[in-house]
Amino acid sequence: MSNKHFRIALAGNANVGKSVIFNQLTGLHQHIGNWPGKTVEKAEGTLHFKGYTIDIIDLPGIYSLSTFSIEELISREYIATEKPELVINVVDASLLERNLFFTLQLLELETPLLIAVNQVDMAKKKGIIVDYEKAEKILGVPVVPTVAVSGKGIYHMLETAIEVIEKKTKMEPLKPRYGQEIEERIEDLIILLGKIQLRYPVRWVAIKLLEEDEEVEKEVLEVSPEIVATAEKLRDELEQLHGHSCPTVVTSERYQVASRVSGEIQKITEPLKTPLREKLHRVTTHRILGFPIMLAAVLAVFVAIFTFGDFTSALLGDFFFGLKPAFDSVLGTGIVGELIWGGVMEGIIGGITVALPYILPFYFILYLFEDSGYLSRVAFLMDNLMHKMGLHGKAFIPVMLSFGCNVPGCLGCRIMETARERLLTAFVVTLVPCAATSVIILGLVGAHVGIEWALALYIINLIIIFVLGRIAFKALPGEPTELIMEMSDYRIPHLPTVAKQTWFRLQEFIVMAFPLIIAGSLVIKFAEVMNLLEPIANIMSPITVTWLGLPLMAGIALIFGILRKELTLIMLATLFAPIPLANAMSSVEMIVFTLVAMLYIPCVATIGALVKEFGWKKALLITVFEILFALLVGGIAFRILTI
Amino acid sequence: MNLPLTALRNGETGVITSTDFSSEHRGMCEHRAGRGWKKHFRVARFAKRLSDLGLTPGTKVTVVKSAPFNGPLEVSVRGSRLAIGRGMASRILVDVER
């Protein structure tokens, strides 16, 4: 039996079920990481089929192969330069026209292609029937129907893929033709381009030059500035002829081809009654009903997560701390034992009691919402509010995540389109009071000063987020961008895909946060064992005692808060013991302390996430700024409250 | 009537006449250095995105509804449903019969 090695790339629009196909193909043999040097997810997997070893790579979901986003650039770079043996273009059977617009661009890249028309069952329900044989004839490449969620057609798709790779099927891929004016100019450019060496197909480069593609232009400019100048002249001519910018003219004509092809290969009969998903869409985006529904959904999620989380967390905590006597008997209670238990083990326990009970269900529900299509509706409703901060609707999603934990919030900033927006959103995200911060607000101020003060702190926090967000938005150079987003039809989430995504996110969290939490708790434990905490608290006293009016011990608690914010509260209670907190601190001290704890630093895991996404410099900048800002606010609050 | 997309009533359909606000910018860009050029670039980038999603001249587009408080528009184009920020939508010109 031959054992041959192939690479197949999956490409297509967002929301066409591409990742479900990827899961069907690779099962558990997959690896999710990042594209080198980029914060774009790279999903790879391996498949053994009929003696072949096939590496499957799931390219990001995109609508075009231009330069709008990093995802588009990565995808076309991969296809054009890595040259996978086959690209499987997954298209949505009920949105053929727009999906074929992308297919045409793959054909222009002259890559070996197979088209999987997915979600044919959904399309049928919508009254859309696709003629695959005709599609094959027109497009000149194999076309197979699939229903990814049930695995239907996947086997046939693979068999066809092998046939294509082994060149058993003769193909004559369609060469999308534009109008005469454009074709003439493409020809002109092809003649000129024939004289230079290129990484891409010549015709594709010619078309991209007419589309004013900055990356292609840059590459050609290095070799031959004359060609770029000619292209500019040709573009001007086309603009004169058509009255629109040249990229628009090319896109427009490409869409005409897509429209013609889709018209020929599909039959549409309008369904008689409005389907449930359509009604659901109307209600969830309704100008009045949409908001209470969203609020109820978000609240339900948080209540569910915290109920589950608190219970499981306590259970896990009890279990792990139950191990302490066993540890002590092995390691002894000397300095080494103290360091290993208090530093390493308590760090691990801390991580586990957060990651499993809270982060896991959190991610799971998030992906459930995303996969069903609800998150895009939330972005639609919140767009206007986020605009006030210079962001747009999509930014609400990472912000919402951050109320649970800032780490997924920071990582969630990837959904923003530009680097500037990612950074702005991340900055806002680190100011959001996470679950641990809520523990301090409610457990200290809420319990001992009064719930109205706790509420006031939340409101102050929100005002601060708003004001700082706005200032950062004004200060950071660049134009604001606006929402352009597809709201795909509601669908039932595919559980295995959701579960897998949750699992990979959880892994990511553990890999990133655990070492930081453990290292951090080891350092602090070491300081404690060496009796360094009090001297450090004394050094900090001009700030903590003089400026903020806090007890000396509060400084130590704040240091612990760097690991995980709720530790500040636990440490306060421990440090003041046996005096109960209510007697140890005055109301003003509690409010100032909470205010500082709320704002003063993103915890070590969040800093880790910032470093991962934005690099050391920006992470450090945000951290230092927030420390100084928290001290400023705390000092002012102390003075106002003691007037 | 040639109107910006934002002027359409809910449920109204128009044919796009122009999506690129770039032609008017271009004149400006040639005169002004640096910033103006960059602005043109950025605007063109988003015009490209709009056309990539199917909003090209000559295409029928229906405004389904707009989100409250001057929020984005929900439009239906080439069988798909898009949300478009209001500022950008106001620069898409459509021909409507009234």
| pLDDT surpassing 90 at residue A102 | yes
Hey, of B49, B59, B91, which one would you mutate to test binding to chain A, going by the most A CBs within 10 A of its CB? Answer: B49
| Residue written as token pair 């359509």 | A278
pLDDT in tens, A496-505: 989 988 998 8
Q: CB distance B47–A245 less than 8 Å?
A: yes
pLDDT attached to residue B42:
53
Hey, of B18, B26, B52, which one would you mutate to test binding to chain A, going by the most A CBs within 10 A of its CB? Answer: B52
- As a whole number of angstroms, the distance between CA A358 and CA A352 comes to 10
pLDDT attached to residue B20:
62
Q: How far is CA A376 from the centre of its chain?
A: 13
Q: What average pLDDT does this structure show over A220-243? A: 93
Strand pairing partners for A58? A10, A43
More confidently predicted of B36 and A131: A131
Q: Which of A281-285, A456-460, A469-473 has the lowest mean pLDDT?
A: A469-473
Structure tokens at B80: 């798909």
Measured over all CA atoms, what is the biggest interatomic distance in chain B, rounded to whole angstroms?
42
Nearest to A65 by CA among A236, A223, A205: A205
pLDDT in tens, B26-60: 444 444 444 444 445 555 677 888 999 999 999 99
pLDDT in tens, A573-603: 888 877 888 888 899 999 999 999 999 878 8
Name the pairing type of β-strands A143-145 and A113-118.
parallel
- Which of B52, B74, B85 is opposite residue A66, by nearest beta carbon? B52
**Is residue A116 within a helix (H) or strand (E), and if so which, with residue range?**
strand A113-118
pLDDT attached to residue A137:
94
| Residue B35 contacts A where some CB pair is shorter than 8 Å | no
- Which of B47, B72, B78 is opposite residue A98, by nearest beta carbon? B78
Q: What average pLDDT does this structure show over A296-312? A: 88
**pTM of structure:** 0.88
Structure tokens at A538: 């004394």
Nearest to A21 by CA among A75, A65, A59: A59
Closest CA–CA distance from residue B88 to any residue of chain A (Å):
7
Contact A39, A613 (CB under 8 A): yes
Residues of B within 8 A of A68 (CB-CB) are 45, 48-49, 52
pLDDT attached to residue B35:
42
Q: Percent of chain A, pLDDT > 70? A: 99
Phi, psi of B78 (to 5 degrees): 45, 40
Q: Percent of chain A, pLDDT > 90? A: 56
pLDDT in tens, A25-67: 998 788 887 787 777 888 999 999 999 999 999 999 999 999 8
ipTM for the complex? 0.87
| pLDDT surpassing 80 at residue A157 | yes
Mean pLDDT for chain A overall: 90
Contact A564, A603 (CB under 8 A): yes
Residues of B within 8 A of A381 (CB-CB) are 67-68, 71
Q: CB distance B82–A384 less than 8 Å?
A: no
Nearest to A602 by CA among A564, A551, A550: A564
- The CATH number given to B2-95 is 2.30.30.90
Question: What 3-state DSSP class applies to B79?
Answer: coil
- Which of A98, A484, A489 is opposite residue B88, by nearest beta carbon? A484
Residues of A within 8 A of B71 (CB-CB) are 380-381, 383-384, 393
pLDDT in tens, A166-215: 887 778 899 999 999 999 999 999 999 988 888 899 999 999 999 999 89
DSSP letter assigned to residue A442:
I
Q: What average pLDDT does this structure show over A295-302? A: 90
- Which of A252, A481, A486 is opposite residue B82, by nearest beta carbon? A486
| pLDDT surpassing 60 at residue A312 | yes
pLDDT attached to residue A567:
84
Name the pairing type of β-strands B80-84 and B73-77.
antiparallel
- For chain B, the domains span 2-95
Q: Which of A443-457, A468-482, B59-73 has the lowest mean pLDDT?
A: A468-482
- Measured between CA atoms, the residue of chain A closest to residue B85 is A483
pLDDT attached to residue A2:
54
- Which of B46, B70, B74 is opposite residue A487, by nearest beta carbon? B74
- The model's confidence at residue A291, banded by pLDDT at 50, 70 and 90, is very high
Q: What average pLDDT does this structure show over A379-408? A: 88
Four-CA torsion A396, A394, B5, A244, nearest 10 degrees = 150
Contact A135, A93 (CB under 8 A): no
| List of domains in chain A | 4-165 (3.40.50.300), 180-268 (1.10.287.1770), 290-480+497-515 (no CATH), 516-641 (no CATH)
